[in-house]
Amino acid sequence: MTDFKISYPLRNNKNFLFLLICFSILFMSVAVNASYQSPIITSISMDFYGSIVGAMPGDRLEVKDDDNVLCGLFEIHKENQYGFIHVYGDDPTTQQDEGPKIGDQLTFYLNGVVLNGSQIQFKGDRIIEKADWQITP
Ligand SMILES: [Ca+2]
């Protein structure tokens, strides 16, 4: 009886701990998904590549359109280089604004900091453009 009284709550504690760990993992994955949004993938995409002098592996390159819609996302895997980054355009058959229309301005961000001072336009599906930057300290 004494053994049972000691071991039973202990077993419950282990189960509780296990559940707590499961919920923590679940919560963290939800939190990560919320903070790292992804662009909406459409059938229209313009691709960019080039160099970002000063970029390091793991850096996060994002592209947003005029309406601040995230339309491109790329994780740097090679120092000073990026690409191809797909920038997804708006699907005209849907109500939702998925991304830029032809002629819309694009803004590139590296880890949340604006890269381009120059004007970069969304030119349309299957267009590839080279764009180079340098991170100014
Ligand atoms: Ca649309």
Structural tokens at position 84 = 């191809």
- How many A from CA of 42 to the centre of ligand 1? 9
* Coil vs helix vs strand at 129: strand
- Rounded to the nearest angstrom, the distance between the alpha carbon of 110 and the centre of ligand 1 is 26
The environment of the single-atom ion ligand 1, i.e. residues with CB closer than 5 A, is 90-91, 94
Q: pTM of the entire structure? A: 0.74
Give pLDDT tens digits for 87-103. Answer: 999 999 999 999 999 99
Distance 100 CA to ligand 1 centre (A): 9
Is the predicted pLDDT of residue 79 greater than 90, yes or no? yes
Quickly list DSSP for 70-87. EEEEEE--BTTEEEEEEE
